[in-house]
């Protein structure tokens, strides 16, 4: 994951960079070679069970970042659509943002949709029955952000990190 940021560090927002570095440090201390690693494939070893503490550590980083992103949006500036209005009216817009800016209530949907998503995703990820919904919402959100706002490699990195939410059998439930 740290390789993702090397050529793109200037286009990342600070919290995105923080999460990528934090996940990289977590991967340095967890036994990440137990399952689905190249070492296991080359040695033709059967995968070993991954200790649950390492899964909880990685999952908690994603949950904490999204929850606090939602809390940070509970301020007057965000709730009055100022950041959304700025993003939708900036000069260097993508064609998608140009289209969205023309829609009525676009900034309100962006503000309150982002707030609701940030505050609900952690709980959806923690409840096993709703992980598939959380994965689909996250994939859509990250894809839209990546296409619309050109925020670097963070959407791709976060989609890769969704693997931390998958249970041992490879299922999202």
Catalytic residue among 16, 73, 131, 158: 73
Cβ contacts of 46 within 8 Å, gap of 6 or more: 40
Asked about 160 being catalytic, the answer comes back as no
**How do the domains of the chain map onto residue ranges?**
2-165
Cβ contacts of 56 within 8 Å, gap of 6 or more: none
Residue 137 CB coordination number (10 Å): 16
Per-residue pLDDT for the chain (173 aa), expressed as one digit of tens each? Answer: 444 444 444 444 566 777 788 888 888 888 877 766 777 777 777 777 778 888 888 888 888 888 888 898 898 888 888 877 777 777 566 777 778 778 888 888 888 988 999 899 989 988 888 888 988 998 888 888 777 777 777 788 878 877 777 665 554 44
């Amino acid at each position: 994951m740290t390789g993702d940021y090397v050529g793109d560090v200037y286009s990342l927002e600070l919290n995105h960079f923080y999460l990528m570095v934090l996940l990289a440090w977590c991967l340095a201390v967890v036994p990440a070679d137990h399952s689905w690693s190249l070492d296991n494939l080359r040695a033709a070893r059967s995968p070993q069970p991954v200790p649950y503490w390492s899964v909880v550590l990685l999952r908690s980083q994603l949950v904490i970042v999204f929850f606090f992103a939602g809390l940070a949006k509970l301020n007057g500036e965000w709730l009055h659509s100022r950041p959304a209005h700025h993003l939708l009216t900036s000069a260097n817009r993508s064609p998608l943002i140009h289209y969205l800016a023309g829609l009525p209530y676009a900034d309100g949907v962006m503000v309150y949709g982002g707030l609701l998503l940030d505050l609900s995703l952690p709980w959806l990820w923690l409840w096993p029955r709703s992980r598939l919904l959380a994965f689909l919402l996250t994939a859509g959100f990250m894809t839209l952000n990546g296409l619309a706002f050109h925020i670097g490699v963070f959407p791709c990195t976060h989609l890769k990190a969704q693997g931390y939410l998958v249970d041992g059998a490879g299922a999202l439930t």
